[in-house]
Amino acid sequence: MSRTIKRLQPHQFAINLWFVLVSLAMIVPFWLVVAVSFTSEKSVLAHGYRLLPDRISLDAYRYLFASPAILLHAYGVTILITAIGTAGGLLLTAMTAYGISRRDYRYNRITVFYVFFTMLFSGGLVPFYMLITQVLHLKDTLLALILPGLLSPFYIMLLRSFLLKLPMEIVESAKIDGAREWRIFFTIVLPLAKPALATLALFISFGYWNEWFNALLFIDDQRLVPLQLLLVRILNTIEYLTSNSQFTNGLNIDMSSFPNHGARMALAVLAGGPMIVVFPFFQKFFVRGLTVGSLKG
């Protein structure tokens, strides 16, 4: 059976070539980070950064995993915060966005303006710190890391724009059949909004996974330190040791073989690696969530 090979038109070839180059521009830097994390410090100093290491070395990971219990515990804290924060934030965002997307809601415009106004102005760092520590008394608790990220005005407005495209006739017909608001929300609205919810879940989980500044402000208990804050502290320690030779010489610490560059890259791999593994599972919903709102069918 003969197959006809369709030749690409010049403009199609140019578009495909452009996307190949863009993909390489994204993949090559990440591959370089991974390669350097497995390169010895002497090789980096002698030959610079290379996509293929001359000799594979695990010195950077041996340094970071010198106390595996601490690192694994920080992973556990981050996973717990990300899971609870993503589930809670997604539910509250969906409830708020659905409420202000209903055209029969009397205070629709006022609420939308209130949500939008908080995107333009914030109370500042000092009132935020006083609210968490003095009013809510959440210092050294996981709630101090979860509550600040539960609701985002931008995500609310984004989901509202998606929900506005859902036909109100579905809600009205459900009311005629005797369904109450909670049943309509959980059995009709949420299933129809799965693409947008999956996209927001990815954004929210990224925010919780990469959060370290709130932990720096509110967490002193070492048992509650998340992964990102632990890696920031390790990075600061590396920078201090490498930039203060007099201190290290006084302690008889040999920094010539210390995996300075490799440890920095290994930190990036440990911090971003798990989310890169999770992203492909959400890719289908992510693409639909970005495009379905612009189509009519």
Nearest alpha carbon to residue 211 among 268, 271, 282, 274:
271
CATH value of 59-294 in 3.40.50.300, 3.20.20.70, 3.20.20.150, 1.10.3720.10? 1.10.3720.10
Q: Give residue 282's identity as a one-letter amino acid code.
A: F
Are 211 and 149 a contacting pair, CB within 8 Å?
Answer: yes
Q: Give residue 167's identity as a one-letter amino acid code.
A: P
What is the average per-residue pLDDT within 86-91? 94
Indicate the pLDDT class of residue 144, thresholds 50, 70 and 90.
very high
Torsion, CA 91, CA 93, CA 97, CA 99, rounded to 10: 50
Are 215 and 226 a contacting pair, CB within 8 Å?
Answer: yes
Q: Give residue 48's identity as a one-letter amino acid code.
A: G
Per-residue confidence (pLDDT) for residue 287, from 0 to 100: 56
Residue whose tokens read 């609310």: 156
Percentage, residues of the chain above pLDDT 70:
85
Neighbouring C-alpha atoms within 13 Å toward the C-beta of 34? 9
Indicate the pLDDT class of residue 147, thresholds 50, 70 and 90.
very high
Token pair recorded at residue 225:
């330190």
Other C-beta atoms lying within 10 Å of the C-beta of residue 151: 16
Is pLDDT at 47 greater than 90 in this prediction?
A: no
Q: Where are the domains of the chain?
A: 59-294
Percentage, residues of the chain above pLDDT 90:
15
Per-residue confidence (pLDDT) for residue 120, from 0 to 100: 83
Burial tier of 165 (Cβ tally within 10 Å: 0-12, 13-18, 19+): middle
Opening angle at CA 121, ends 103 and 124, nearest 5:
135
Is pLDDT at 161 greater than 60 in this prediction?
A: yes
What is the average per-residue pLDDT within 180-206? 87
